[in-house]
Amino acid sequence: GKHRIVIPCLGHFKEEYEKVSKLYMNNKIQTTRYTLLNFLPRNLFEQFHRVANLYFLFLVVLNWIPLVEAFQKEITMLPLVGVLTIIAVKDGLEDYSRYKMDKQMNNLVTKVYSR
């Protein structure tokens, strides 16, 4: 039947480990949602799934129409930009703490059972 070879990643076994380990999936833990490249677009995408943010965006767009303009255009944008910034900073800090925790978990020393 099927069997799996387990080779320790130590000393003189390192070359053999690298050959065999390419055949299998790794067991790294990754709970982060963002990378540096996708943080801004993905975060904005997630934030505009909230009804309140869509409402404020609607008010900003509506205020850019000269016939409907109630306030100065910049003043209408302040609440939306403020909320989006605060939530983005919070999400970024949470994701960074998840990244540090993942790194800590992935670098734990484990014991291997041997008969």
pTM of the model: 0.70
Q: Which two tokens stand for residue 58?
A: 């609607």
pLDDT for 99 equals 95
Residue with the bigger pLDDT between 37 and 19: it is: 37
Residue 31's pLDDT is what?
92
What's the rounded Cα separation, in Å, for the pair 101 and 32? 10
What pLDDT, on the 0 to 100 scale, is given for residue 71? 73
Q: Please, which pLDDT band fits residue 107 given cuts at 50, 70 and 90?
A: confident
Would you give the DSSP letter of residue 49? T
Give the pLDDT of residue 20: 72
In the predicted model, is pLDDT for residue 106 greater than 80?
yes
